[in-house]
Structure 1
Amino acid sequence: MVDGDGSNRAAGRQRRGRAIAMSDAERDGFLAAERTCRVATVGKDGAPHVSPLWFGWSGGAVWLFSITKSRRWRDLERDPRVSVVVDAGEQYDELRGVEVHGRAEQVGEVPRSAAPDPELMAIEQVFADKYMGGAFYADGRHAWLRIEPEKIVSWDFRKLAALQRK
């Protein structure tokens, strides 16, 4: 987009967006450390529904351990399109985050029992280490959803200071 003065400010903003994006390693570390995501689903009436949830990041996918009788679960059974946002920071120059767009897929039994499942071993250990003191347990009310990213956007406004010095 060319602005009225002939400059290409939109392209400049895009370059800044790339400059403040997280590297793959930064993104992976951020998602491993942060504890709460916001999950956006499409409701039966087409309206968005957003809810906070604990999550895991494993094998390049976002994993949600969701209550199977929740509105979120019903929404995703009807329409698997989902967006997940994980963010942190309080001051403007501290803000950072990751947004993942994709489709949720049920993995394993619904609801999850204590029976071993090789497909879930890695994420259940990640989840146990992050939230359960190292020991995973299934309560018969939750099951796993995997979101393979179709699009990932990240930002780290802490990088803005270096851009402003240039």
Structure 2
Amino acid sequence: MIDEFLARPLTARVATDGPTVRPTWYLWEDGAFWILSGPWSRLPSLVLSRPRIALSVDVCELDTGVVVQVLASGDASVRPFDVPRGRRKLVRYLGDDEQRWDPRFREYLHGDVGAVWVHLRPSRLVAKDLSYEVPEKP
């Protein structure tokens, strides 16, 4: 299973000076990344102790040749959670119908789970389009 999985054309994320790397959903709003987190994750305490972080968002679509990456870095902060922004972020990934969401996601908005935002207004933000032309199949 591992060999089959690693043989797929996936994107790796590599971090140094920590090390810790994690996938995350995010909201890009007001020139900043907003990442929902809380006591279930080490991310807020890591940011509080060492605020410098790097973030990568990328796609690699072999059937279309679209390869795009955005790299961001800077000093992050931990901010109080607000429900309206939380709803905008979760709707983006899960759709409008909260009743169809997994209960833990609804709990972020309606419960007292200690949610916070990890906020990154990048001091460095680079976008690269590495797309290529895909030949038509004969």
Q: Could you tell me the TM-score, scaled by structure 2's length?
A: 0.64
Name the CA shift for 1:63/1:138 in 2 (closer, same or farther; >3 Å): farther
Partners of 2:46 and 2:86 in 1: CA distance? 24
Structure-2 change in CA distance of 1:105 and 1:70 (3 Å): same
Gaps of 5+ in 2: 1-12, 99-105, 134-138
Per-residue CA deviation, residues 70-102 of structure 1 (Å, 9 max, x unaligned), is 222221110111111111114494221111111
Read off the aligned partner of 1:58 and give its amino acid letter: E
**Structure possessing the higher radius of gyration over alpha carbons:** 1
Matched, 1:131 2:104: no
Q: Deviations over 1:41-71 (max 9, x none)?
A: x7xxx43210111111111100000133422
Compute the displacement of 1:125 (Å): 3.7
More relative contact order, 1 or 2 (CA 8 Å, 6+ apart): 2
Q: 1:120-159 residue pairs with structure 2 within 5 A?
A: 121=84, 123-134=85-96, 135=98, 137-139=109-111, 140-158=113-131
What count of residue pairs does the alignment treat as equivalent?
Answer: 109
Q: Pick which of 46-55 and 131-140 moved more.
A: 131-140
Equivalent pairs: percent with the same residue? 27
Stretches of structure 1 lacking an aligned partner (at least 5 in a row): 1-37, 162-166
Question: Residues 86 and 103 of structure 1: is their aligned pair in 2 closer, same or farther, counting only changes over 3 Å?
Answer: same
Q: Measure the CA separation in 2 of the matches of 1:105 and 1:96.
A: 27
Amino acid at match of 2:88: V
Shift of 1:145: 1.3
| Amino acid in structure 1 at the alignment position of 2:69 | G
Q: 1:62 to 1:39 in 2, by over 3 A?
A: farther
Deviation digits for residues 108-163 of structure 1 (CA, Å, limit 9, x no counterpart): 1xxx5xxxx5xx63x324213213433561541431111011010111122x56xx
Distance between the aligned counterparts of 1:105 and 1:73, measured in 2?
Answer: 8
TM-score (norm 1): 0.55
* Aligned partner (choices 44, 47, 60) of residue 76 of structure 1: 47
Q: Which moved more, 1:141-150 or 1:64-73?
A: 64-73
